[in-house]
A and B are shown apart, each in its own frame.
Chain A
Amino acid sequence: MENKIVAKNVNLHYGSKHALKNVSLDIKENAITAFIGPSGCGKSTFLKTLNRMNDYVENCKIEGTILLDGEDVYDEKVDTTVLRKKVGMVFQQPNPFPMSIYDNIAYGPRIHGIKNKRELDRIVEESLKAAALYDEVSDRLHTSALGLSGGQQQRLCIARALAVQPDVILLDEPTSALDPISTLKIEELLLDLKDKYTIAIVTHNMQQASRIADYTAFFLVGEMIEYGQTKDIFSIPKDKRTEDYITGRFG
């Protein structure tokens, strides 16, 4: 499988805190890659470097290279609007805008200049269908998205990310605030989506990683300890620390 994203020797400092230490990692195209590790290990931080969401954090310095389709993400000529159209993001807490369901989905396409009503209608419908939410909300597209349940809100956020037709979707613990049924729906959805998209997911939940991820990377205090096919990581981990973590000895 092709490498979609190649990260080489990425170092990240928050002020005096060395949050990522020399992380190198390849993310394969049309696969799900999971980042696991205890709280504060740098997995979310690493995820955010991939679409430059750390740009808004004060005193944040990044060294090393991250290539997306061979292009340097941190080149100063990069337009972050275009980058984030290609690399979408879904956050831990479902964060729909206080607008209608329709306007939430249309938000991204509108940024990128799509104004035609019929075109937007089509995108909204397709995105909601792709996020397995259309049947539940098709009769109330113009009501507030804040009236949806937590699980529906999160699928709405995934639909919103899909609406700009990204190549890569980054998910930062997308199910940690959800109940088991909603979690299951989102996991199924991600498995469906990987044929079309490259997916990177941060998760606290090791079972989740083993259920859905093709590749898994284990992080610990800013270092990427081990990375490989999920089945290998969970059955024959090479590093003692990975083994301790996945067998529940700490974390």
Chain B
Amino acid sequence: MTNSIFEKRKRISDKSMSFFIYLSSLLSVFILVVIIGYILYRGLPVFNFSYLMNTTSIINDTVGILPNIINTLYIIVLTLLIACPIGIGGAIYLNEYAKNKKFVDVISFTTEVLSGIPSIIYGLFGMLFFGTFCGFGFSILTGSLTLAIMILPIISRNTQTALETVPKSYREAALGIGATKWYMIRTVLLPSCMPGILTGVILAMGRIVAESAALLFTAGSVHVLPANIFTHVLSSGGTLTIELYLQMAKGNYDVAFVIALVLIVIVLGLNMLAKLITKKFDVHEVKN
């Protein structure tokens, strides 16, 4: 006679592993909650909308981060404007045009290495190359060019991965009906890849918002309101993270936590935007 089906075996490893996995996931949520909670706890009581409307000035005796918010948004937009065409274009070339597989491997390897370099090294390079050699000095442009190099791997890797997942049958269908290669890329590949590309862009935005080391010696830390939005590109401007660093160094923890609060809101906003946009652009979702 065989065993009864009610006879239970003890599966210790199974149970302990699921407990461990459960614990780890709980822990990661817990850490996030603690960080956000602490920032809210320290930031909310001292928060005042006047911080968002003012600039820090000793003469007027005001404290505010409006210039830093403007600089942050400015740098995000400018960096993406520089990096997106190059990153997406490069990925399209590597995936669709390049015939030499070795060449593609070398470039892919290089981009991966590039994404692992500490950001202060980008800062050093940016300061000396864009700042001194190209003569852009301490400016938003120098900062954006430096950041553009830094986020290039994120954008091009994500685009490449997205292009790889487009089924061969779409390409065949388009080419088989007489589309030229570029027409096929523009009308079929890029729309199908949009969610992947946008994911890369949003991740890159996160990197830009978070960056301080690469900006300290390139975009600098000036916090005055831009006089002219176009010439502002050549003047120095500190982002929120830079200001956060400087305020902490001075021991102004109240202002530091207000900045942290604003940063968290921006990051959360970006992530939610990412989810929304990715869903909207997903051509594979059948809407009836």
User: Taking beta carbons and an 8 Å cutoff, which residues of A are in contact with B?
Assistant: 51, 53, 56, 58, 80-85, 88-89, 91, 93, 95-99, 107-108, 111-112, 140, 143-144, 146-147, 157, 160-161, 164
Residues of A within 8 A of B286 (CB): 143-144, 146-147
Interface residues of B in 161-188 (CB under 8 A from A): 167, 169-180, 183, 187-188
Residues of B within 8 A of A147 (CB): 286, 288
Q: How many A-B residue pairs have CB under 8 A?
A: 78
Q: Give the distance in Å from the alpha carbon of A122 to the alpha carbon of B285 in the complex.
A: 28
Cross-chain contact B179 with A111 (CB below 8 angstroms): yes
A162 to chain B, nearest CB (A): 11
Given known A-B contacts A98-B284, A146-B284, A160 and B178 have beta carbons under 8 A apart: no
Cross-chain contact B177 with A98 (CB below 8 angstroms): no
Cross-chain contact A161 with B177 (CB below 8 angstroms): yes
Q: Give the distance in Å from the alpha carbon of A193 to the alpha carbon of B283 in the complex.
A: 32
Which among A88, A95, A99 is the interface contact of B169 at CB below 8 angstroms?
A95
Given known A-B contacts A97-B188, A143-B287, A146-B286, A56 and B169 have beta carbons under 8 A apart: no
8 contacts between A and B (CB under 8 A): A53-B172, A81-B180, A82-B178, A84-B178, A91-B169, A107-B187, A111-B179, A147-B286
Cross-chain contact B178 with A91 (CB below 8 angstroms): no
B162 to chain A, nearest CB (A): 13
B109 to chain A, nearest CB (A): 22
Q: Give the distance in Å from the alpha carbon of A93 to the alpha carbon of B175 in the complex.
A: 15
A112: nearest chain-B partner, CB-CB: B178
Q: Give the distance in Å from the alpha carbon of A88 to the alpha carbon of B172 in the complex.
A: 11
A55: nearest chain-B partner, CB-CB: B175
Query: Which size class do B's interface residues fall under?
Result: 20 to 34
Cross-chain contact A111 with B177 (CB below 8 angstroms): yes
Q: Give the distance in Å from the alpha carbon of A51 to the alpha carbon of B174 in the complex.
A: 13
Which among A56, A83, A99 is the interface contact of B283 at CB below 8 angstroms?
A99
Which among A93, A98, A111, A144 is the interface contact of B178 at CB below 8 angstroms?
A111
Cross-chain contact A84 with B176 (CB below 8 angstroms): yes
Which among A84, A85, A144 is the interface contact of B175 at CB below 8 angstroms?
A84
Q: Give the distance in Å from the alpha carbon of A143 to the alpha carbon of B285 in the complex.
A: 11
Which among A83, A97, A111, A140 is the interface contact of B183 at CB below 8 angstroms?
A111
Q: Digitize B222-266: 1 where CB-to-A-CB distance is under 8 Å, 0 elsewhere.
A: 000000000000000000000000000000000000000000000
Best-surrounded residue of B173, B180, B191 (most CB of chain A within 10 A) = B173
Given known A-B contacts A144-B287, A146-B286, A108 and B170 have beta carbons under 8 A apart: no
Q: Give the distance in Å from the alpha carbon of A97 to the alpha carbon of B174 in the complex.
A: 8
Cross-chain contact A58 with B99 (CB below 8 angstroms): yes
Contact of B68 with A by CB under 8 A: no
Given known A-B contacts A91-B173, A146-B284, A147-B288, A80 and B192 have beta carbons under 8 A apart: no
Cross-chain contact B191 with A91 (CB below 8 angstroms): no
A96: nearest chain-B partner, CB-CB: B173
Cross-chain contact B177 with A164 (CB below 8 angstroms): yes
Residues of B within 8 A of A161 (CB): 176-177
Given known A-B contacts A99-B283, A147-B286, A91 and B177 have beta carbons under 8 A apart: no
Q: Give the distance in Å from the alpha carbon of A161 to the alpha carbon of B169 in the complex.
A: 14
Residues of A within 8 A of B178 (CB): 80-85, 108, 111-112, 164
Residues of A within 8 A of B173 (CB): 91, 95-97, 157, 160
